[in-house]
């Protein structure tokens, strides 16, 4: 079997999504997600100019060899653009291999370790009361775990809070980055009362998660973790940026609140110290940005030795292909923790028909051969690329801060 062609498809059925489609001389094809939010065209160029020409004529079954060829062969290692490109190819090749085997992808990874995959949804509100209403809607739909984010008095916008109540949070809506204003002090003074209210209203059984989105220093994160201990969070996500992995030692020393980090990670070296020194509890690295199934499997296996579980990123800037591949992976991976779920737009679901299904707070990946997600190219072409950027953040005095 040989790869005879490969192409990149860009579509915007609500937001920009990039897909690679790899075709073989035997008619079987595979697809992979190559979306990097706000930098979509860089990955398109990387794939079209530097990757696709090298794939033609290769045996698609040699997934590991192709992975090594693209990783080592580029000389320039790691980084989001390169690793997203490698991931897209890798997922498409696993799709082909599983289709040829006539098996759902999880079977090739080692079979199911669980019957269903617990996901968390997003509840967001301009204030605590409207966030509680959204939590109730999630509980009614069966979710066992909900991420809660609410507006902070005195700051016009904050991470995770949608402009329209009841709608998913979607910040990438501008042809140039919007500028947001941030106050760590106001956030730290207000946010613990959100968790207190959720516990009071919904009791102890609901899993509560929260995303700080990289905005604190280690000592501030220690304070927050300590303040929210009485509310038993499932996790506190991305409290600080983590270029300096040992900074998490400070946070760990101050709190028993479980810590999740890593949706921006691309490789094991981004998180090796965090894992090895048991400084975190959940790893957010995801298939589409961390080098595909081949690489994330290596990271997850390493993490298992240090009691670190997976909690893959699953926002809507990851296409249904990543969701499908992740659900196969989650069904297999022994050290599974939880999977993020943010519903895609109806249009996106139609462009990417899929076998995965939601039922009462859990997903199953489906039983069709491959990763179970396809692309309707005719429909995809009806939604052309729209320039869109994530916002940038400034402190109240104008200093650039982490968004």
Binding residues for ligand KDG (CB under 6 A): 37, 211, 213, 263, 313, 315, 317, 340, 390
DSSP per-residue string spanning 148-175? EEE--TT-S--TT--SSTTSPP----BS
* Closest separation in Å from C-beta 254 to ligand KDG: 23
Nearer to ligand KDG, 84 or 183 (CB): 84
Dist. CA 176–CA 169, nearest whole Å = 18
Dist. CA 228–CA 222, nearest whole Å = 10
Nearer to ligand KDG, 196 or 390 (CB): 390
- Is residue 159 annotated as part of the catalytic site, yes or no? yes
Phi and psi torsions of 207, nearest 5° = -80, 125
Catalytic residue among 159, 187, 282, 383: 159
Dist. CA 283–CA 303, nearest whole Å = 8
Tokens standing for residue 83: 């690793």
Nearer to ligand KDG, 110 or 343 (CB): 343
Dist. CA 103–CA 367, nearest whole Å = 8
> What does 331 interact with, of ligand KDG, Mg ion, none (CB < 5 to 8 A by kind)?
none
* Closest separation in Å from C-beta 141 to ligand KDG: 18
Q: Which ranges of 110-247 would DSSP assign to H, the alpha helix?
A: 128-141, 184-202, 218-227
Can you say whether the dihedral through the CA atoms of 21, 24, 25, 27 is positive or negative?
Answer: negative
Give the nearest residue (CB) to Mg ion: 211
Q: Segment near Mg ion (CB under 5 A), from 58-66, 81-89, 147-155, 204-212?
A: 204-212
Q: Of 382, 357, 302, nearest to 117 (Cα)? A: 357
Among 40, 90, 211, 270, binds Mg ion (CB under 5 A): 211
Nearer to Mg ion, 231 or 265 (CB): 265
Nearer to ligand KDG, 16 or 247 (CB): 16
Contact 149, 174 (CB under 8 A): no
Dist. CA 364–CA 115, nearest whole Å = 8
∠ CA 298-300-305, rounded to 5°? 105
Q: Segment near Mg ion (CB under 5 A), from 149-157, 208-216, 217-225, 361-369?
A: 208-216
Q: Segment near Mg ion (CB under 5 A), from 58-66, 84-92, 114-122, 255-263?
A: 255-263
Contact 181, 158 (CB under 8 A): no
Q: Segment near Mg ion (CB under 5 A), from 23-31, 203-211, 325-333, 346-354?
A: 203-211
> What does 90 interact with, of ligand KDG, Mg ion, none (CB < 5 to 8 A by kind)?
none
How many residues are there in the chain?
403
> What does 134 interact with, of Mg ion, ligand KDG, none (CB < 5 to 8 A by kind)?
none
Strands 309-312 and 336-340: parallel
Nearer to ligand KDG, 29 or 282 (CB): 282
* Closest separation in Å from C-beta 35 to ligand KDG: 9
* Closest separation in Å from C-beta 3 to ligand KDG: 30
* Closest separation in Å from C-beta 15 to ligand KDG: 9
* Closest separation in Å from C-beta 386 to ligand KDG: 15
Q: Which helix (H) or strand (E) holds 282?
A: strand 282-283
Strand order in the sheet with 400-401: 179-182, 392-395, 400-401
> What does 37 interact with, of Mg ion, ligand KDG, none (CB < 5 to 8 A by kind)?
ligand KDG
Contacts of 319 (CB under 8 A, 6+ apart): 17, 18, 19, 33, 35, 288, 344, 348, 352
* Closest separation in Å from C-beta 98 to ligand KDG: 26
Q: Of 232, 234, 252, nearest to 242 (Cα)? A: 252
Tokens standing for residue 91: 């997922």
Nearer to ligand KDG, 37 or 255 (CB): 37
- Is residue 213 annotated as part of the catalytic site, yes or no? yes
Catalytic residue among 122, 138, 213, 341: 213
Q: Segment near Mg ion (CB under 5 A), from 162-170, 192-200, 207-215, 227-235?
A: 207-215
* Closest separation in Å from C-beta 163 to Mg ion: 19
Contact 276, 246 (CB under 8 A): no
> What does 340 interact with, of Mg ion, ligand KDG, none (CB < 5 to 8 A by kind)?
ligand KDG
Residues that bind Mg ion (CB under 5 A): 211, 263
Active site residues: 159, 213
């Amino acid at each position: 079997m040989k790869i005879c062609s490969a192409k990149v498809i860009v579509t915007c059925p609500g937001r920009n999504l990039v897909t690679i489609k790899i075709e073989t001389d035997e008619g079987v094809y595979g697809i992979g997600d190559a979306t990097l939010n706000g930098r979509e065209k860089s990955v398109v160029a990387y794939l079209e100019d530097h990757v696709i020409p090298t794939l033609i004529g290769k045996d698609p079954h040699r997934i590991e060899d192709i992975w090594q060829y693209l990783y080592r062969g580029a000389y320039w290692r790691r980084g989001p653009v390169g690793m997203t490109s490698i991931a897209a190819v890798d997922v498409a090749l696993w799709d082909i291999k599983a289709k040829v085997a006539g098996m759902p992808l999880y079977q090739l990874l080692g079979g199911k370790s669980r019957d269903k995959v617990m996901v968390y949804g997003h509840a967001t509100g301009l204030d605590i009361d409207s966030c509680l209403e959204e939590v109730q809607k999630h509980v009614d739909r069966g979710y066992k775990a909900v991420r809660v984010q609410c507006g902070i008095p005195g700051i016009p916008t904050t991470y995770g809070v949608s402009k329209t109540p009841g709608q998913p949070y979607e910040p990438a809506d501008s042809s140039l980055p919007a500028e947001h204003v941030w106050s760590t002090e106001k956030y730290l003074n207000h946010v613990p009362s959100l968790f207190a209210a959720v516990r009071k209203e919904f009791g102890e059984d609901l899993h509560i998660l929260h995303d700080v989105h990289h905005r604190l220093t280690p000592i501030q994160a220690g304070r927050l973790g300590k303040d929210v201990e009485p509310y038993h969070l499932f996790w506190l996500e991305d409290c600080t940026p983590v270029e300096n992995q040992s900074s998490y030692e400070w946070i760990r020393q101050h709190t028993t609140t479980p810590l999740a980090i890593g949706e921006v990670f691309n490789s094991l070296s981004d998180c090796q110290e965090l894992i090895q020194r048991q400084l975190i509890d959940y790893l957010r690295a995801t298939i589409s940005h961390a080098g595909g199934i081949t690489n994330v499997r290596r990271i997850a296996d390493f993490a298992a030795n240090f009691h670190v579980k997976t909690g893959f990123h699953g926002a809507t800037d990851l296409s249904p292909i990543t969701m499908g591949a992740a659900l196969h992976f989650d069904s297999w991976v022994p050290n599974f923790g939880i999977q993020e779920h943010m519903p895609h737009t109806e249009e996106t679901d139609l462009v990417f028909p899929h076998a995965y299904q939601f039922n009462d707070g859990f997903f199953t990946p489906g039983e069709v051969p491959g990763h179970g997600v396809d692309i309707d190219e005719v429909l995809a072409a009806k939604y052309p690329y729209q320039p869109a950027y994530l916002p940038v953040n400034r402190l109240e005095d104008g200093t650039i801060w982490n968004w």
